[in-house]
Amino acid sequence: MQQPGVDRDSVESVGRFSAACCRAVPPAFRWGGPRVTGFLPSLVVFAGVFSWVVSAGEAPLVGWETLTRLDRLAEYRPALEVGSVSSYDRSGGNDDGFSGRYSYVAKEGDGLVIADLKGPGVIYRIWTPTPTDDWMEFFFDGESQPRIRVRFRDLFLGRTEPFLKPLVGYGVGGFFSYVPLTYAKSCKVVLRAERVQFYQINYARYGTDAGIESYTATPDAGTAAQMLEARRILSSNGQDITGFTTPPGSDAEMIRRRLTLSPGGGATLFETNRGGRIVGVRLSPPSKLARHARDLTLRISFDGAAPSVLCPVGDFFGYAWGEPAARALLAGANDEVAYCYCPMPFDHSTRVELLSESSDATPLTLEGEVVFAPVPRRSNEGRFGALWRRENPTTIGKPFTFADLQGRGHLVGFVLQSQGFESGRTLFFEGDDVTTLDGRLAVHGTGSEDFFNGGWYDVPDRWEKPLNFALSGCLGYWKHLGRTGGYRFLLGDAYSFEQSVVQTIEHAGTGNEIPTDYAGVTYFYADRPVADPLPPAGKRAVVDLDEVAFPVWWEIPIRAFPFQDTVLTRKTTKVGNEDVRYLSVRGGPPDWVGPAYLYVTCHVPRPGRYAVAIEALKGPEGGRVQLFQDEVPVGDPVDLFAESPAKSGRLELGVLDSDGGDTPVMLKLVGKNDQSKALGLDVVQIICRRVE
């Protein structure tokens, strides 16, 4: 948020500036896009900045232009077919790449054909969580020699042109490429390996009039400039990109307003009765939008029609469970501002409003900005929409539905917050995304985190922490809360439809058999307004688990243990018919800071007092464990000695005060039974239950 110049008396203030900012010159011939002929662009100069204004009709939005012309995001797509090739289990099971059974379309000599696409077309996205050092080859137009030959892993590491960062990348367990690969007649992708596991390849097929030329390893100067521009744009998430979302050559106006919202009231951020487009919406500070109640609503209407956006305001900006989370190119929040840069064209009028259903009697004050360009909606553009849907609980046997739309348009983004009902279990994230376009199965994914360019949820250093990229990211992963989510924005890989679209995601590996709390936002462009009525604020609020369990045998953060003579081991022991997994602590005599201990971090969802219990394995080496806070015992010692190994059941240790979030838990081995052979603690899980 640009704070200087904000009107402190709540009166709208308008600044005008040229949006001809730092754009690459579009070449007459584009590798990775259509060949443009039949017109000459005219050069316009504003304040020493050059901008290109097309004097005749622009070429179809294809290839590199889908990455570099964000001002054209609202345009209907010219694709005849949008689709994906992936390793999903065709039998309906959950073998989406584990065995490799469904991970190719044909065998060819010493390789596997993983895609065989007919053109003209463009590969827009390649993803995998399981890259290898095997050679990947791309054959264009029926040629016998590959034009691209690169090791599968190197496709994503940014070391090989044209696969350079941030067009490619990796993180949270996934590897992705957004380099547009064009083909005039066909493209066959072969991996020289005996086996491949998980992968997805998104593509679009066009008509011959799109003028698509096949990839060449020696791009012309114009194409090289587009590549640089695309890399610059995709490096700008969290920054002001209105220079890219404003049509070239137009003057944009910045409208700033201070908003005061009283409970049950509303405020208008922006309203106009002239045609144009919103190219940026910003609210500050983001912390004031952090509301678990989801009791602030953003409502946007175009041309006097029903709202196209009717969404909890935090969720609209990529918040997760009431807190800032996403920092994507087109929407999210940084330290200073919550933002959305999706172009929103309209014919003659629009209104942007904030509505409050807060129970807090204190009025809420926000600073808002709208960047407006006086370029009305063109006939080939849809109106922007953001659809918020929640299913709590999801329906057994049916997937969660992001969107079910009629008419013409394209989907350009998704945010999903998924909350299980059982602490320590997130198996619902085995579910696949499925996209049906005009009644045709177009895209079938391989797992929920895969949909968001990740991989391997609940695995250390993979999908287990927040991470933001320009077009995708992980909102966070909290096993103990049964909670995770992600976001993904679509540019070249947008899901375009002429008659209808149904976008779903499963909530289990098979059968949608795990009930969950799913809340999703779908960003799209369409030829008609679509916005579900919102449920009452009480039905929208984030629901936290009152009791959370931390499986210590898995990956609970260990803050510290003694400086000497203490051994930690993860083990599995047979107790009856059950394999019990646990963290084994064997302590020595007290050192200079006191007795042996295990000091861990337990993340609780909100402030309060928490009763702390453990489930442990009792046995001949069990010691006495006691809960401490700030070096003061908060409960009586518990004796873990038993003559033979046995599960303890729940053992209550005491009550801790927590400010919410990461909470330190200190377990001290304060002694042992005379019969015990060691000073041992074999802990299966720590349980925190909110008591007030």
183 with 119: CB under 8 angstroms?
Answer: yes
495 with 204: CB under 8 angstroms?
Answer: no
Residue located via tokens 């054209």: 72
Q: What's the pLDDT tens digit per position in 380-389?
A: 999 999 999 9
Mean pLDDT check: name the lowest of 117-121, 470-474, 503-507, 525-529: 525-529
Strands 338-340 and 276-284: antiparallel
Q: What is the pLDDT of residue 16?
A: 56
637 with 625: CB under 8 angstroms?
Answer: yes
The burial class, CB within 10 Å (0-12 / 13-18 / 19+), for 659 is exposed
Mean pLDDT score, 427-443 = 98
The burial class, CB within 10 Å (0-12 / 13-18 / 19+), for 414 is buried
Q: What's the pLDDT tens digit per position in 163-182?
A: 999 999 999 999 999 999 99
Banded model confidence at residue 554, pLDDT cuts 50, 70, 90: confident
Homologous superfamily of the 548-690 domain (CATH): Galactose-binding domain-like (2.60.120.260)
Taking the C-alpha atoms of residue 438 and residue 495, their distance in angstroms, rounded to an integer, is: 11
Residue located via tokens 């039974």: 673
Mean pLDDT score, 183-196 = 97
C-alpha distance from residue 499 to each of 379, 410, 502, 520, 677 (Å): 17, 11, 11, 22, 73
Q: What's the pLDDT tens digit per position in 215-233?
A: 999 988 888 999 999 999 9
Equal fold, 1-19+250-381 vs 382-529? yes
Residue 542 has pLDDT above 70, yes or no: yes
269 with 366: CB under 8 angstroms?
Answer: no
Homologous superfamily of the 382-529 domain (CATH): Protein of unknown function DUF2961 (2.60.120.1390)
DSSP 539: H
**Boundaries of every domain in the chain:** 1-19+250-381, 23-237, 382-529, 548-690
Q: Classify domain 1-19+250-381 at the CATH class level.
A: mainly beta
Among positive and negative, which fits the CA dihedral 178, 280, 292, 411?
negative
Encoded amino acid at 366, one letter = L
Buried b vs exposed e over 133-149: b needs ≥16 C-beta within 10 Å? Answer: ebbbbbbbeeeeebbbe
Report which secondary-structure segment, H or E, holds 68.
helix 65-68
DSSP 656: E
C-alpha distance from residue 164 to each of 11, 179, 232, 570 (Å): 46, 8, 11, 41
555 with 429: CB under 8 angstroms?
Answer: no
Range 23-237 classified under CATH 1.25.40.10: no
Mean pLDDT score, 496-505 = 98
Report which of residues 537 and 274 the model is more confident about: 274
Banded model confidence at residue 26, pLDDT cuts 50, 70, 90: very low
Compute the CA torsion angle 23, 25, 30, 31 (nearest 10 deg). -60
343 with 384: CB under 8 angstroms?
Answer: yes
Cα 475–Cα 479–Cα 480 angle in degrees, nearest 5: 120
Residue 538: φ, ψ to 5°: -60, -25
Residue 101 has pLDDT above 50, yes or no: yes
Which residues have C-beta within 8 Å of that of residue 679, sequence separation ≥ 6? 586, 587, 588, 596, 621, 623, 669, 671, 672
